[in-house]
Amino acid sequence: MEIFQFDFMRRAFLVGIILGFIIPCIGVVIVLKRLSMIGDAISHTSLAGITFGLVFNINPILASVIFCILAALSIEYIRKKISKYEEMSIAIIMSLSVGLAGLMSGFVANNVNFNSFLFGSIVAISDFELKLIIIIGLISILTFILLYKEIFYITFNERLARLSGVPVRRINFIFTILTAITISISARTVGALIVSSMIVIPVATSLQVAGSYKKNIIYSVLFNLLWTIAGIFISYYFGLKPGATIVLISIIGFLIVVILKDVLSKNNI
């Protein structure tokens, strides 16, 4: 096929498949813990890191990773300090990130490069960025598999997990770092402003058809892979932005699943 004759498109598909596996695994835990907005907070933090990198001539993805890790740890710290209103921690960090990104964006010399991070540029991934995504992707998937049981317990009941001997604080720390890194590397490909959509929408769709935690993860990954591959194909042949195309396709997919479920339930099928 014509699309696979180009090296940048082959890299785009490879990156899309890697993120298609990682993002839903993180998303399932975030959604089930009712922390969906944390994706928005950290994605906006990634934008602050990107602007910092562009202003001070540092690799934007590396700067984004550092900023996102600091933001994720800050959210966890603030949550513990105001446990009765823990959702406020997300709003505080997001406000700080938006403020920093807005302030530093005025000093970015290349607005074209900056805009590519806002809405993503999966076809413009450099060799260094590709290697970084592959390494981080493999580490993230391996970590999630090795800590599957512990993350499962913590997702549904932290108190019971602690009584069962699960090192809750350590696992939460690892998962927080994992979330921050995943979102930061995704910002380059799908865009800092819409990466949170890829965290939530596949999970929201799988919840319509999945009957267990494990199936939820499997269906989320399948949906995300399907939409990512379809989005790259459509964006290539119609000259659209890949990140935005992927998100819009996922919204359409979600609506189709919801409507089909409603029709089948009404007809007792």
CA distance 104 to 52: 7
- Give this prediction's pTM: 0.85
∠ at Cα 23 (92, 130), nearest 5°? 105
| CB-based contacts of 102, cutoff 8 Å, min separation 6 | none
Q: How far, in Å, are 2, 97, 133, 227, 262 from residue 253 at the CA level? A: 26, 31, 26, 8, 14
pLDDT at 269: 60
**pLDDT at res. 119:** 67
Q: Determine the Cα angle at 217 with ends 148 and 269, to 5°.
A: 140
For residue 52, give every residue at least 6 positions away whose Cβ sits within 8 Å of its Cβ, in sequence order, or none.
Answer: 58, 63, 67, 100, 104
Distance CA 201, CA 27 (A): 9
Look at residue 136 in the predicted model and tell me its pLDDT. 83
Closest C-alpha among 223, 208, 184, 247 to residue 24: 223
Which class for 211: exposed (0-12), middle (13-18), buried (19 or more C-beta within 10 A)?
exposed
Nearest to 214 by CA among 222, 173, 137: 222
DSSP state of 109: S
pLDDT of residue 137: 84
Q: What confidence score (pLDDT) does residue 41 get? A: 83
- Write down the pLDDT at residue 123: 66
Question: Angle CA(36)–CA(41)–CA(47) in degrees, nearest 5?
Answer: 135
- What CATH number was assigned to the domain covering residues 2-264? 1.10.3470.10
With the CA atoms of 54, 57, 61 and 63 taken in that order, what torsion angle do they form, in degrees rounded to the nearest 10? -90
Q: Which residues lie closer than 8 Å to 94 by C-beta, 6 or more apart?
A: 37, 40, 41, 44, 45
Task: Report the amino acid identity of residue 166.
Answer: V
Instruction: Name the residue among 226, 182, 207, 250 with its Cα closest to residue 38.
Output: 182
Place of tokens 């009765």: 84
pLDDT per residue, tens digit, the chain (269 aa), is 677 888 878 888 888 888 888 888 888 988 888 777 787 788 888 888 888 888 888 888 788 888 988 988 888 888 778 767 667 888 888 888 888 888 888 887 766 666 667 666 666 677 877 888 888 888 888 988 899 999 988 888 888 888 888 898 888 888 888 888 888 877 777 777 677 788 899 999 999 998 888 999 999 999 999 998 999 899 888 988 888 888 899 999 999 999 998 888 877 66
